């Protein structure tokens, strides 16, 4: 009887499961507290196969950032381009979707987990510049989406035209990052809701009631 050497056939399902597991675990805990073993266990992929797909935890997490970005973009940012909705309502909905994500995290885990992009930034000193650079792209792309309703509102005379829309949008993203961090500290998504309402009200020239 011939002895067959079983070849490890790793399907694309394993690869995708590793990316999903990394995205979930790093978000739920942190980059440095999650090891390759935990990611493999969650993905139901043998540890020995990990390096068949990825050079390192960092290269896996770089792909996980793409995956998180796709989900975030679809859930939170798509509304920014919807010209059937008033610019100010689009901004409000964008903020509401951010609040919804953090409310959902707390319902599911008991904790506001924070923004995956912001959390990774906070942990990035010890990481490759590749991850940090990708995070800058993410923040810029988020701001590019937010700039759409802002520039339309500027064109419609609803918002001050002196400042460039992209600069204002970068401020909005930065302010949201601050709010999400404060919401995480207090374990209270309402921090983002109240603060986000103030951001929109301030852009449109009046303080929220």
Q: Which residues bind its own copies (CB under 8 A)?
A: 28-33, 109, 111, 113-114, 118-119, 121-126, 132, 135-136, 139, 162-163, 170-171, 173-179, 181-182, 184-187, 191, 195, 198, 202, 207
Separation of alpha carbons 85 and 59, rounded Å = 39
Query: Which residue lies nearer to its own copies by CB, 15 or 113?
Result: 113
Helix (H, G, I), strand (E, B) or coil at 3: coil
Q: How far is the CB of 18 from its own copies (least distance, A)?
A: 20
Q: How far is the CB of 142 from its own copies (least distance, A)?
A: 11
Q: How far is the CB of 49 from its own copies (least distance, A)?
A: 25
Separation of alpha carbons 98 and 196, rounded Å = 9
Among 209, 207, 206, 199, smallest CA distance to 149 is for 199
Query: Which residue lies nearer to its own copies by CB, 28 or 85?
Result: 28
Burial class (CB in 10 A: 0-12, 13-18, 19+), 28: middle
Q: How far is the CB of 66 from its own copies (least distance, A)?
A: 17
Query: Which residue lies nearer to its own copies by CB, 82 or 160?
Result: 160
**Angle, vertex CA 132, rays to CA 175 and CA 28, nearest 5:** 70
């Amino acid at each position: 009887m011939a002895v067959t050497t079983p070849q490890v056939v790793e399907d694309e399902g394993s690869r995708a499961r590793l990316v999903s597991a990394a995205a979930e675990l790093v978000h739920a805990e942190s980059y440095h507290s999650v090891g390759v073993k935990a990611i493999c266990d969650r993905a139901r992929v043998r540890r020995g196969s990990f390096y068949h797909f990825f050079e390192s935890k960092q290269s896996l997490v770089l792909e996980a950032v793409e995956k998180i970005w796709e989900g975030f973009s679809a859930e939170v940012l798509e509304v920014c381009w919807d010209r059937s909705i008033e610019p100010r309502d689009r901004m409000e909905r964008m903020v509401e979707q951010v609040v919804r994500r953090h409310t959902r995290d707390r319902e599911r885990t008991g904790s506001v987990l924070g923004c995956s992009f912001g959390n990774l930034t906070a942990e990035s000193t010890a990481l490759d510049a590749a991850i940090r650079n990708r995070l800058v792209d993410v923040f810029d792309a988020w701001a590019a989406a937010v700039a759409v309703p802002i520039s339309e509102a500027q064109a419609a005379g609803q918002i001050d035209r002196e400042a460039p829309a992209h600069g204002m949008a970068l401020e909005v993203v930065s302010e949201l990052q601050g709010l999400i961090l404060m919401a995480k500290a207090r374990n209270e998504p309402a921090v983002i809701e109240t603060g986000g309402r103030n951001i929109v009200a301030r852009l449109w020239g009046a303080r929220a009631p």
